[in-house]
Structure 1
Amino acid sequence: MDINQEELSVPSEQPLVEYTLKNDHGMEVSCLNLGGIITKILAPDKNGQLENVVLNFKEKETYLENPPFFGALIGRVAGRIQSAQFELDGESYSLQANDGPNHLHGADTGFHKVVWDVETVETTDVVKLVLTHFSPHGEGGYPGNLKVKVTYSLDNDNAFSIRYEATSDKKTALTLTNHSYFNLSGNLKADIQSHELNIDSDQFVELDEALIPTGNLLDVNDTPYDFRSKQAIRVGVESSHPQNKVAGNGYDHYFVLNKKADLDIKVSEPVSGRTLTVNTEQPGFVLYTSNMLPEDLKLGDGPSKKYLGLCLETQASPASLHHAEGFPSVVLEKDEKYSKTTTFRFGVE
Structure 2
Amino acid sequence: MNITKENFGELNGDTVTAYRLINDHGMQVSCIDYGCTITEINVPDQTGNIENVVLGFDTVEEYKNHSPFFGCIVGRVAGRIGQAEFDLDGKNYKLLKNDGDNHLHGGLHGFDKVIWDATVEETADEVKLIFTHVSPDGDEGYPGNVNLTVTYSLNNNNTFQISYEATTDQKTLLNLTNHSYFNLSGNLKTDILDHELTLKSDQFVELSDALIPTGHLLDVEATAFDFRLGRKIKDGVTSEHPQNKLVGGGYDHPLLLSANHQEEISLIDFSNGRKLVIETDEPAVVLYTSNMMGDNFNIRGVQARKYLGVCLETQHHPDAINHPEFPTIVLAPGEVYQTKTSYSFSVLKGE
TM-score, scaled relative to structure 1: 0.97
Counterpart for residue 305 of structure 2: 305
Q: Could you say what the CA RMSD is over the residues aligned between the two structures, in angstroms?
A: 1.2
Matches within 5 A, 1:67-216: 67-216=67-216
> Is the Cα–Cα contact under 8 Å of residues 8 and 59 in structure 2 kept in the other structure?
no
Deviation at 1:66, TM superposition (A): 4.2
Deviation at 1:259, TM superposition (A): 1.4
> Is the Cα–Cα contact under 8 Å of residues 106 and 140 in structure 1 kept in the other structure?
yes
Deviation at 1:334, TM superposition (A): 1.9
- Once residues 117 and 261 of structure 2 are traced to their aligned partners in structure 1, the CA distance between those partners, rounded to angstroms, is 36
Deviation at 1:58, TM superposition (A): 4.6
Deviation at 1:260, TM superposition (A): 6.5
Bigger mean CA deviation after superposition, 331-340 or 175-184: 331-340
Deviation at 1:56, TM superposition (A): 1.1
Deviation at 1:91, TM superposition (A): 1.0
Q: What's the secondary structure of 1:107's corresponding residue?
A: coil
TM-score, scaled relative to structure 2: 0.97
Q: What's the secondary structure of 2:63's corresponding residue?
A: helix
**Residues 320 and 11 of structure 1: CA distance in aligned 2, closer, same or farther (over 3 Å):** closer
Deviation at 1:67, TM superposition (A): 3.9
Q: What's the secondary structure of 1:108's corresponding residue?
A: coil
Matches within 5 A, 1:13-28: 13-28=13-28
> Is the Cα–Cα contact under 8 Å of residues 199 and 266 in structure 1 kept in the other structure?
yes
**Residues 112 and 260 of structure 1: CA distance in aligned 2, closer, same or farther (over 3 Å):** closer
- Once residues 169 and 66 of structure 2 are traced to their aligned partners in structure 1, the CA distance between those partners, rounded to angstroms, is 31
Counterpart for residue 290 of structure 1: 290
Where structure 2 has 5 or more consecutive residues not aligned to the other structure, the ranges are none
Bigger mean CA deviation after superposition, 327-336 or 202-211: 327-336
Deviation at 1:65, TM superposition (A): 3.6
* Paired letter, 2:313: E
**Residues 91 and 69 of structure 1: CA distance in aligned 2, closer, same or farther (over 3 Å):** same
> Is the Cα–Cα contact under 8 Å of residues 254 and 318 in structure 2 kept in the other structure?
no
- Once residues 290 and 81 of structure 1 are traced to their aligned partners in structure 2, the CA distance between those partners, rounded to angstroms, is 20
Counterpart for residue 319 of structure 2: 319
CA deviations on 1:26-76 (whole Å, 9 max, x unpaired) are 100000010001000001101111000001125442112444000011010
Counterpart for residue 339 of structure 1: 338
Deviation at 1:101, TM superposition (A): 0.6
- Once residues 76 and 11 of structure 2 are traced to their aligned partners in structure 1, the CA distance between those partners, rounded to angstroms, is 26
Q: What's the secondary structure of 1:15's corresponding residue?
A: strand
Q: What's the secondary structure of 1:21's corresponding residue?
A: strand
Write out the 4+ residue segments of structure 1 that deviate beyond 4 Å after TM superposition: none
Deviation at 1:210, TM superposition (A): 1.2
> Is the Cα–Cα contact under 8 Å of residues 236 and 244 in structure 2 kept in the other structure?
yes
Counterpart for residue 268 of structure 1: 268
CA deviations on 1:220-274 (whole Å, 9 max, x unpaired) are 0111000001100010011110000011100000011111682110001010100
Where structure 1 has 5 or more consecutive residues not aligned to the other structure, the ranges are none
Counterpart for residue 42 of structure 2: 42
* Paired letter, 2:335: E
- Once residues 262 and 112 of structure 1 are traced to their aligned partners in structure 2, the CA distance between those partners, rounded to angstroms, is 29
CA deviations on 1:308-349 (whole Å, 9 max, x unpaired) are 000011000132211111x22211122210000000000111
- Once residues 261 and 156 of structure 2 are traced to their aligned partners in structure 1, the CA distance between those partners, rounded to angstroms, is 24
**Residues 9 and 142 of structure 1: CA distance in aligned 2, closer, same or farther (over 3 Å):** closer
* Length, aligned pairs only: 348
* Paired letter, 1:324: P
- Once residues 81 and 264 of structure 1 are traced to their aligned partners in structure 2, the CA distance between those partners, rounded to angstroms, is 27
**Residues 261 and 18 of structure 1: CA distance in aligned 2, closer, same or farther (over 3 Å):** closer
* Paired letter, 2:336: K
Bigger mean CA deviation after superposition, 316-325 or 119-128: 316-325
**Residues 132 and 58 of structure 1: CA distance in aligned 2, closer, same or farther (over 3 Å):** closer
Aligned-pair identity in percent equals: 52
> Is the Cα–Cα contact under 8 Å of residues 6 and 19 in structure 1 kept in the other structure?
yes
* Paired letter, 2:192: I
Counterpart for residue 57 of structure 1: 57
CA deviations on 1:138-177 (whole Å, 9 max, x unpaired) are 1111011100000000000000000000001111110100
Counterpart for residue 328 of structure 1: 327
- Once residues 285 and 200 of structure 2 are traced to their aligned partners in structure 1, the CA distance between those partners, rounded to angstroms, is 11
